[in-house]
Structure formats: structure tokens, C-alpha cells
């Protein structure tokens, strides 16, 4: 039976080689097949969404498209008995917002094995302050800890620290008892980073070694990097014996030109972080941690809110590295 219920969505379309974003109307029938129809209350903006919204075919192959890799809302209909109307749920990653119509609209329909129940201790809005950024930071810490990291006096470096993943990493590490050193290009954000829990703030130039040397004196007990490129290569050179670097992102560069020496002379580990395809078992475990022992006290400080109408300018800003913290999109 046709379902013509209408709702509001961001629609990105390709017109004469240009990508145009507009806010328009869609109906339930426009959504892809899936077991769970969700009334989206909040979404959030991630760097990947901005790529999708500006025509990056590595993220989204087909347009017109609705981006949004994150969504939190209420189950409207479900053909899977694990979910029932009224359940509060979160969807992040998998193919949401990439080639599957995403969270920048008032309804999504997705496979039930993408859906996580909202854990106790988090509101729907708080889950989207975290969003993929918080989940990625949590996955990075989880992997670092699985290789032996524990709180100590060692400094843990977070790069791109005022960004989404960076801000969440600083706050989660601090909440978990680590000594955080944050590097940033936004030197006027020192107070912000200190309030999130960073003890030392560095200019991003200080963690981007131009010398070409293979190794540098050790400093970091662990690293969460969302920047990639020479900053990631630099982090490896300064990492202590048998410690680990979690590679999350590429805002500086997707290329990694590095030496083998940190790995074979210092036992340094380079950990790959892929939040999109993380197993459901780890997904649920990490969302529970984000709702409890890793829930930052300064969650609200990281948040700026906008509606679908205001999202356009935030997308342009995140592409220029100009967003501090997290943008929550209110779809109510
Ligand atoms: N692996 C995963 O599963 C996963 C999940 C989420 C995101 N990511 C990736 O992680 C990265 C960050 O995502 P996000 O959503 O947190 O983006 P974001 O909010 O824009 O944060 C990125 C930050 O990187 C820094 N930066 C920007 N341009 C830079 C440059 N040229 N050189 C050095 N630093 C630069 C800026 O921080 P400062 O101004 O503080 O230096 C910026 O705020 C992206 O590459 C994204 O694709 C990966």
C-alpha cells in the first residue's frame, strides 16, 4: 500500500556538474527498504557528511541523496520483533548517509541490524552530541586499552583536538583518568580544551615534524589522531616503546609517508579505527560506556545546535576545519 506521508529532508542533487543542497519534501515511499522505520529527532554533522553533501563520490556515488551518517529517534514501525514502536534508538555508521538515505531528514528506514537501543544514561540529544565522532573516539580508546593502555602520568596526544572526534577524545580520555595533551590549529580555543579536560595545549605545528627524521625522543603514551598525513607520521616517531597510535581520520591528508623504525625499534602499534563497520557487540558495549563511565561532564559545552535550514552554513564551515566541537541537528 502506498505510503505518502510527507516529511522534510535535506536533498543534495547534481545539476550541470554542481552539487546543490536544498530543503525539500519527501514521502515515506521514497525511503529504502528496511525493517525499522524511525522518526528522527536529532542528527549530527560529521566531516564525512560534509563530503557527501558536496558531491564527494568516494562517500556517495548516487545523487539526489540525503546525507547524515548519524540519527537518533523513535521507532515508528518495525517488522523485527527486537524493536517496537516507541523505542528510543540510535543509528550510526554502516551505510547510513553514504549510499543509504541518511539522518538529515525526519524519517529514515534501515535494516534492524544497524539499530542500537538508546542506553540508559543518555538522552536522544546527548547521543547525537556524541554521534559518530564520540563513538569513534570511544572505539579508539577501547582499542588502545585492549593493547594495555591504562591511566598513568604518560601524556596521551589528541590531534585535531577542537574538531568533533578530537573534542570527544579529549573529554572521554579525561573522564577515564588519562593525562591529555591536545594539539590544535585554533590557539584561541585553549580555554575550551582545558574545560574538556586537556592538561597541555600545543599548536598543531608542534606535532607536525618537518625534519624528515625517522625517530624523535619519545613522549606519547598513546595517541588518538584524526588528522592523518605528516601529523600521524610525526605521532609515530614520538610514541613510547610498545605504545599505540589510533588512526581515525585524514583532515590534513590521507597520505601516510612514514618510517618502519618506530614499529621495529620501539614496538609502536598503529591501530586502524573504522567506526562504520564495528560489530554490534562492541557497538553496544561502547554506547553503554558513553552513557556511563565515559560520559563527559562537559558534553553540553561541545554542542552547537541547528535546524535543517541552518545546516548548509555548518557544512561549509566543517569543510574548512572551522567547527569547534559538535553540531547537533534538531529535526523535531
Ligand atoms: N575512522 C572513523 O571511523 C571515523 C569516524 C569519524 C570521523 N573520521 C574522520 O576523522 C576526521 C575528523 O572528523 P570530524 O568529524 O571530527 O571533523 P572536524 O570536526 O572537522 O574535525 C577535524 C579537525 O581537524 C583539524 N584540522 C582540519 N584541517 C586540518 C589540517 N589541514 N591540518 C591539521 N589539522 C586539521 C581541525 O582541528 P584543530 O583546529 O583543533 O586543529 C578540525 O577541527 C575526518 O577525516 C573524518 O573523516 C573517521
Weakly modelled stretches of the chain, pLDDT under 50? none
Burial class (CB in 10 A: 0-12, 13-18, 19+), 22: exposed
Go through the domains of the chain in sequence order and give each one's CATH number. Answer: 6-118+299-330 (3.90.180.10), 132-272 (3.40.50.720)
Ligand 1 centroid to Cα of residue 96, in Å, is: 19
Q: Which of 210, 211, 167 is nearest to 186 (CA)?
A: 167
By three-state DSSP, how is residue 241 classified? strand
Q: How many CB atoms lie within 10 A of CB 324?
A: 21
Q: Which of 168, 157, 175, 89 is nearest to 133 (CA)?
A: 168
Residue 4's pLDDT is 82
Q: Which residues line ligand 1 (CB under 6 A)?
A: 46-48, 132-133, 136, 160-166, 184-186, 204, 226-227, 231, 248-252, 273-276, 318, 321, 323
User: Ligand 1: which residue has its CA nearest to atom 6?
Assistant: 133
Ligand 1 centroid to Cα of residue 2, in Å, is: 42
User: Ligand 1: which residue has its CA nearest to atom 31?
Assistant: 252
Ligand 1 centroid to Cα of residue 133, in Å, is: 9
Dist CA 324 CA 24 (whole Å): 28
Backbone torsions φ then ψ of 26, nearest 5 degrees: -130, 170
Residue 285's pLDDT is 98
Which whole-number Å values give the CA distances from 270 to 62, 82, 98, 205, 258, in the listed order?
33, 37, 27, 21, 11
Ligand 1 centroid to Cα of residue 255, in Å, is: 14
User: Ligand 1: which residue has its CA nearest to atom 21?
Assistant: 163
User: Ligand 1: which residue has its CA nearest to atom 4?
Assistant: 248
Ligand 1 centroid to Cα of residue 323, in Å, is: 10
Ligand 1 centroid to Cα of residue 30, in Å, is: 32
pTM: 0.96
Which atom of ligand 1 is nearest to 248's Cα? 1
Query: Would you state the cell numbers that stand for residue 38, as one nine-digit string?
Result: 524511525
Ligand 1 centroid to Cα of residue 319, in Å, is: 9
Instruction: Give percent of the chain above pLDDT 90.
Output: 96
Best of 93, 132, 272, 321 for a ligand 1 pocket test (most atoms within 8 Å of beta carbon): 321
Degrees, nearest 5: CA angle 297-45-252: 95
Query: Would you state the cell numbers that stand for residue 155, as one nine-digit string?
Result: 601524556
Which atom of ligand 1 is nearest to 274's Cα? 3
Provide the pairing of β-strand 88-92 with 107-110: unpaired
| DSSP secondary structure letter of residue 32 | P
Ligand 1 centroid to Cα of residue 165, in Å, is: 7
Backbone torsions φ then ψ of 51, nearest 5 degrees: -65, -45
Which atom of ligand 1 is nearest to 319's Cα? 20
Tens digits of residue pLDDT in 194-230: 999 999 999 999 999 999 999 999 999 999 999 999 9
User: Ligand 1: which residue has its CA nearest to atom 11?
Assistant: 249
Best of 249, 256, 283 for a ligand 1 pocket test (most atoms within 8 Å of beta carbon): 249
Residue 17's pLDDT is 87
Tens digits of residue pLDDT in 27-39: 999 999 999 999 9
Dist CA 67 CA 317 (whole Å): 16
Residue 287's pLDDT is 98
Burial class (CB in 10 A: 0-12, 13-18, 19+), 23: middle
Residue 325's pLDDT is 96
Which atom of ligand 1 is nearest to 164's Cα? 16
Amino acid at each position: 500500500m502506498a505510503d505518502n506521508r510527507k516529511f522534510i529532508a535535506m536533498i543534495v542533487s547534481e545539476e550541470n556538474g554542481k552539487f546543490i543542497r536544498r530543503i525539500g519534501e519527501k514521502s515515506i515511499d521514497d525511503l529504502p527498504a528496511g525493517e525499522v522505520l524511525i522518526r528522527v529527532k536529532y542528527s549530527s554533522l560529521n566531516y564525512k557528511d560534509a563530503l557527501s553533501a558536496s558531491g564527494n563520490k568516494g562517500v556517495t556515488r548516487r545523487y539526489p541523496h540525503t546525507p547524515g551518517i548519524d540519527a537518533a529517534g523513535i521507532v515508528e514501525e518495525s517488522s523485527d520483533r527486537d524493536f517496537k514502536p516507541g523505542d528510543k534508538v540510535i543509528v550510526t555508521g554502516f551505510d547510513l548517509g553514504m549510499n543509504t538515505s541518511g539522518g538529515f531528514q525526519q524519517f529514515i528506514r534501515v535494516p534492524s541490524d544497524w539499530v542500537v537501543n538508546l542506553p540508559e544514561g543518555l538522552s536522544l540529544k546527548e547521543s547525537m552530541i556524541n554521534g559518530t565522532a564520540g563513538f569513534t573516539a570511544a572505539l579508539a580508546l577501547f582499542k588502545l586499552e585492549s593493547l594495555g593502555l591504562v591511566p598513568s602520568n604518560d601524556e596521551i596526544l589528541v590531534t585535531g583536538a577542537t574538531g568533533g572526534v578530537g573534542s570527544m577524545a579529549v573529554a572521554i580520555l579525561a573522564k577515564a583518568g588519562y593525562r591529555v595533551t591536545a594539539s590544535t590549529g585554533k590557539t584561541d580555543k585553549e580555554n575550551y580544551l582545558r574545560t574538556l579536560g586537556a592538561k597541555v595545549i600545543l599548536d598543531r605545528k608542534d606535532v607536525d615534524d618537518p625534519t624528515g627524521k625517522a625517530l624523535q625522543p619519545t613522549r606519547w603514551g598513546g595517541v588518538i589522531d584524526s588528522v592523518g598525513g605528516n601529523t600521524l607520521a610525526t605521532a609515530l616517531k614520538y610514541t613510547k616503546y610498545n605504545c599505540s597510535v589510533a588512526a581515525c581520520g585524514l583532515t590534513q591528508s590521507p597520505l601516510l609517508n612514514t618510517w618502519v623504525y618506530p614499529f621495529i625499534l620501539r614496538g609502536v602499534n598503529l591501530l586502524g579505527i573504522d567506526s562504520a563497520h564495528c560489530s554490534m557487540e562492541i557497538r553496544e558495549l561502547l554506547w553503554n560506556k558513553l552513557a556511563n563511565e565515559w560520559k563527559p561532564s562537559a558534553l553540553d559545552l561541545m554542542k552547537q545546535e541547528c535546524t535543517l535550514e541552518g545546516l548548509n552554513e555548518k557544512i561549509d564551515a566543517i569543510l574548512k576545519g572551522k567547527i569547534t566541537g559538535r553540531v547537533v541537528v534538531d529535526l523535531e
